[in-house]
Every structure is written in structure tokens, then in C-alpha cells.
Structure 1
Amino acid sequence: MVQFAYTILYVENVPQSVAFYEKAFNLKRRFLHESHQYAEMETGGTTLAFAVNELAKSNLPEGFRENSLSNPPAGIEIGLAVTDVPAAFSQAVGAGAIAVTEPKVKPWGQTVAYVRDLDGILVEICTSM
């Protein structure tokens, strides 16, 4: 059996990213290593983690595309389910997220909005399915 355990976002500054996700999305910090190179957030059943770009470089000797607001977002998103998408969207933008798509109801009934975080990572704010 395979179980989805975690997602790691490679970022420039782990403590800054953790503080942003706390303020923008009300996530709670589970762990921040004393080196400030790795952290985890409380998100329920799956862990959202952050690691510095230098760690990615050491793990991926062929290289990778760093996340950055100066580039288009990568073809992946982090999905955060909330009960009030407009309020969560406003909170995220107020905390410094870049608005991408205002909240709207999809044909299947889910309300969805998109922002980019401080490192340019695409975050979907949505109601549960």
C-alpha cells in the first residue's frame, strides 16, 4: 500500500515561508530545525514541509527550477480546503500573497481561488469536495 505522506516546497528562506503560511493560512508550525533549512506545518493527515533551495540542489545533482515570483508558477499547486474561500483569499492577500484568480464557483459546486506565495508557489484555496 502507498500512502501520500508529505509535500516539500523548496524555498529561499524557510523561516520566512513558515511565518507567511502561519499568517496567510492560519497553519501551525509543527517543527523548524535549528539550522532553518527544514520545517513542517500541521495540516491534518498530510505534512506540508519547507526546505531551502540548497538542500534541493544537494538532492538533485541534475538541477531543478527554483520557485520564484519572477517566473510563471510551476505546473503544480498546493490545495488548502477552507469553509469560507472569500475570507481566506482576502486573508492570504492581506498577508502578502499575490492574487491570481478571485474566488469563483466551479460547475461541480466547489468554490476555488488561487494565489501565489512569497516564493511564487501556486496555492489553491477551495471548499472541500
Structure 2
Amino acid sequence: MRNKDYEVLYTILYVKDVAQSVAFYEKAFGLKQQFIHESQQYAEMETGGTTLAFASNELAKSNLPQGFQENSLSNLPAGMEIAFVTDDITAALSRAIEAGAVIVVDAKVKPWGQTVAYVRDLDGIIVEIASQM
């Protein structure tokens, strides 16, 4: 059932370097850049129904004058994740690690039958790599 009032259209990740994040997600997960602003402060990736976007920390600071916790591999990850579904967890995990992702939890089968692995991207954001449910 679809909510007629609200629809998730964007997931926006705050990152240190937007162009670097675009290049990483292209290499690690095979995504394609859809749009990058000439300022290099904002970009969008082609992902299907929901757009994955990156905003620079500087842009985030202008939007959130009270501040926010910046994503970083040197800090504990934020209490959120993004997830990609694939038919080949082993190959996807290897590709992500080869691109610079840091493994958090190797692939394992959950009690409900789904295989799931977790990595952190260049900014320390948790990315789930999972099989279909």
C-alpha cells in the first residue's frame, strides 16, 4: 500500500568530498552518476526508485546551522545504514572492499534466510550488502 501523502525520493549522505564519494560508489557498487552540481557540493546517483545523493559537509553546515555529527571512519558509525540488494553477495563484497570499503561484518545468513554483509564507505557510513528477501 502506498502512502499518498509521503514518498521517500532521496537519501542524502553528508560526506567530506562529493566527487570522491561519487567515484567510490561507482567503483564499489556499480552506480552511475546522474547529476553533480558545478560547485561539487551536491550529486545524485542512479539507483532506481529512490535517489542516493551526496551533499558536502559544508553544504550540510549551511542547511543545519545548529551542527551535526560528521561521518568519519575515525568515529563510530551513525545509527543508520543504506542497503543494496544483489544476487551475488560474495562478488559485491569483494568489489566494495577492492574499491576501499572497510568490512564490518562478513556475509552471513540471517534467521529469516537473507544473506547480509556490512561495510563502511570512505566516510564511515554503513552500507549493507544483502540478498533479496
Quick check: 1:124 aligned with 2:112? no
Give 1:56-67 correspondences, 5 Å limit.
56-67=60-71
Q: C-alpha distance in 2, partners of 1:84/1:92?
A: 12
Q: C-alpha distance in 2, partners of 1:92/1:36?
A: 23
| Partner residue in 1 for 2:48 | 44
Give 1:96-107 correspondences, 5 Å limit.
96-107=100-111
**Can you give the 5+ residue segments of structure 1 that lack an aligned partner in the other structure?**
none
Q: C-alpha distance in 2, partners of 1:54/1:37?
A: 8
Q: CA shift at 1:42, angstroms?
A: 0.5
Q: C-alpha distance in 2, partners of 1:128/1:43?
A: 16
| Partner residue in 2 for 1:15 | 19
Q: Any idea what SS the aligned residue of 2:73 has?
A: coil
Quick check: 1:35 aligned with 2:16? no
Q: Any idea what SS the aligned residue of 2:119 has?
A: strand
1:27-83, Cα deviation, whole Å (9 max, x unpaired): 111011111000000000000000100111111111000000000100000001111
**Can you give the 5+ residue segments of structure 2 that lack an aligned partner in the other structure?**
none
Q: Any idea what SS the aligned residue of 1:91 has?
A: helix
Q: Any idea what SS the aligned residue of 1:107 has?
A: coil
Q: C-alpha distance in 1, partners of 2:41/2:63?
A: 13
Q: C-alpha distance in 2, partners of 1:128/1:61?
A: 39
Aligned residues: 129
Amino acid at match of 2:95: Q
Quick check: 1:89 aligned with 2:129? no
TM (norm. structure 2) is 0.95
